[in-house]
Amino acid sequence: MNVLVVDDTPFMRKVLGDIVASDGHRVVGEAGNGIEAIDMYKKIKPDVVTMDVVMPQMDGITALGRILDEDPFATVIICSALNQKTLIRKALKMGAWDYVVKPFSRERVLEVFHSLEMLRRQVDGSRESFGGILREDPESDRRVFLGV
């Protein structure tokens, strides 16, 4: 999958980019804030965006909303500190695919990517079909697979 990595810390972008690249994904862009993320998303239309929550100029929650306004079928994975549970929950309710808590482990990042890949293989591959088979699960605050 083509991945856009968004984080205000270059080191975190590198770590996350290295993890996803080690599993065969391509980092097709990096952004340091929400404004850059939106601009890059429009230009490169990645398969997945990893989005930090707390960033300068525009936070990840606002950027998530704007990306989903632009493309309701965008796949965004939130990357956030454990003490930001309220923001993580808000992002999931807005339409984020999943989340990874910082400091994240390689295993957790790849678990999220593998679940995404598995689900995409079970649908016909179109972004619309993929987004249409998910629904919100109020108990877990995550979108869940409805089946095909």
34-57: pLDDT as tens digits: 999 999 999 999 999 999 999 999
Q: What separation in angstroms does the CA of 52 have from each of 57, 59, 123, 136?
A: 13, 8, 28, 22
How many independent structural domains does the chain possess?
A: 1
DSSP 75-88: -EEEEEEGGGHHHH
- CATH assignment of the domain containing 92: 3.40.50.2300
Residue 148 has pLDDT above 80, yes or no: no
pLDDT tens digit string along 65-106?
999 999 988 999 999 887 788 888 899 999 999 999 988 899
Residue with tokens 């984020």: 96
pTM for the complete prediction? 0.83
Q: Parallel, antiparallel, or unpaired: how do β-strands 26-31 and 142-145 relate?
A: unpaired
Whole domain around residue 22: which residue ranges? Answer: 2-145
Residues facing 31 on adjacent strands: 6
Select the more confidently predicted residue: 127 or 93: 93
